Amino acid sequence: MAKKKMILDLDTGVDDALALAYALATPDSDLIGVVSSFGNTQVTTAGENTLKLLELLGRTDVPVFIGAAHSSTTDSFETMQVSMDIHGKNGIGDVALPAPTTALSSQTAVDFIIESAHKYADDLVIVPTGPLTNLAEAYQKDPEIENLIGNVTLMGGALVVPGNVTPYTEANINQDPEAADYVFKHAKHLVMVGLDVTLQTLLKIACIGNSITEGVGASSGSATYPSVLQRDLGTEKGRVFADIFDYYIDAYYDLDINKAGAALHDPLAVGVAVDPNLVTLLPLNMMVTHEDGRTIGDPTRLRDPHKNNFAAVAVDEPFYLER
């Protein structure tokens, strides 16, 4: 079987950065490109963050494409204060990285997605961890690719838990509910890795080699946390990722989102894209409500025996953290 080709669609914030590192490290797929989106930050900052991180990780061969600067229903975008609080003003925990030596690709994100869909078809997996604006636009520009792209595994949505922006909506879906609705309805095979599972996977302070904050230990429930981002590995990569995650974990603590650690949202989507056994999937044809960004069953498609949507509803946290 041919190795899967992966495209990441990142609004490069903190957890997107770890998704990128995971996608590069896994032997189970080839990362062929990263497209950028507005979301945690402005799209140009997201693209530059990706270039900088690729350089840090020694993979300047991976091309980066600029995508949507705002949602499909607006003509501008302002970064939300809460995004800056959680991800820093620069999106990556206010950690300064050297200017990249590589440049953004001149091809657009949408055209790169379309070209890759025709080239790799079923072997292509797209992993959006920000708004779904780029993918919706690609589907609309070239409807043929709906039947080509083999797998879309996204971080976003909330089926059985409250949202993290309002009681109903999750941040990535909230940025562009119309685009998300289009993608849920048109993707050939779509896996939603939402807050239902990502909130069950935490990176704790003890994981990154800092002094342990009182009450924050290295294990919780049945999970024992490995040392994944140790600054004491002595590598520049380890130090930078530990610094970036310090910011994120502190934000979770200070904003009282979770005092035990920070949710590993976006890397879980990469993990599930390469190994769906990390989660339990519920087959359910879904929709996104345009007015309030809810990700729910689509009444018009509920009885369709063919399911194109699968929602992750349980996760094997120790297995994931080990990965």
User: Applying CB under 5 A, which residues contact Ca ion?
Assistant: 11, 16, 129-130, 266
Closer CB to ligand RIB, 40 or 45, in the complex = 40
Question: Residue with the closest Cβ to ligand RIB?
Answer: 171
Task: Look up residue 91 and give its two tokens.
Answer: 């999106």
User: Which position among 70, 87, 186, 265 bears the catalytic label?
Assistant: 265
Q: How many CA atoms lie within 13 A of 144 on its CB side?
A: 9
293 sits near ligand RIB (criterion: CB under 6 A): no
Residue 171 binds which of Ca ion, ligand RIB, none (CB < 5-8 A, kind-dependent): ligand RIB
Q: Is 45 in the site for ligand RIB (CB under 6 A)?
A: no
Q: How far is the CB of 300 from Ca ion (least distance, A)?
A: 30
CB 193 within 8 A of CB 158: no
How many degrees, rounded to 5, is the angle at CA 34 between CA 67 and CA 196?
Answer: 90
Please confirm, yes or no, whether 11 is among the known catalytic residues: yes
CA separation for the pair 155, 173 (Å, rounded): 9
Q: Where are the alpha helices (DSSP H) in the chain?
A: 14-25, 43-56, 81-87, 109-120, 133-141, 171-175, 177-186, 195-198, 236-254, 265-274, 317-322
Size of the site for ligand RIB (CB under 6 A): 15
Task: Point out the catalytic residue in the list 9, 11, 176, 246.
Answer: 11
Give Cβ neighbours of residue 230 (< 8 Å, ≥ 6 apart): 207, 208, 209, 238, 242
Six token digits for residue 81: 């204060």
Please, what is the minimum distance in Å from the beta carbon of residue 40 to ligand RIB? 5
Rounded (10°) CA dihedral 260, 265, 268, 269: 170
Interface map 246-275 toward ligand RIB (x if CB under 6 A): -------------------xx---------
Q: How far apart are CA 200 and CA 125, in angstroms?
A: 24
Provide the CB-side half-sphere exposure for 82 (13 A, CA).
8
Nearer to ligand RIB, 114 or 268 (CB): 268
Using CB distances below 5 to 8 A depending on partner kind, what does residue 164 bind out of ligand RIB, Ca ion, none? ligand RIB
Q: How far is the CB of 115 from ligand RIB (least distance, A)?
A: 25
Axis-axis angle for helices 265-274, 14-25 (nearest 10): 20
Nearer to ligand RIB, 16 or 196 (CB): 16
Instruction: Please report whether residue 16 would count as binding ligand RIB according to CB under 6 A.
Output: yes
Note if 290 is an active site residue: no
Residue with tokens 């024992």: 224
46 lies in the binding site for ligand RIB (CB under 6 A): no
Residues in 156-215 at the binding interface with ligand RIB, rule: CB under 6 A = 164, 170-172
Q: Which is nearer to ligand RIB, 51 or 155 (CB)?
A: 155
Strand order in the sheet with 279-283: 64-65, 29-36, 4-10, 124-128, 151-155, 190-193, 309-315, 279-283
- Report if residue 11 touches ligand RIB, rule: CB under 6 A: yes
33 binds, among Ca ion, ligand RIB, none (CB under 5 to 8 A by kind): none
Residue 49 Cβ, how far from ligand RIB at the closest point, in Å?
12
So which residues are the catalytic ones? 11, 265
Interface positions with ligand RIB (CB under 6 A) = 11, 13, 15-16, 39-40, 129-130, 155, 164, 170-172, 265-266
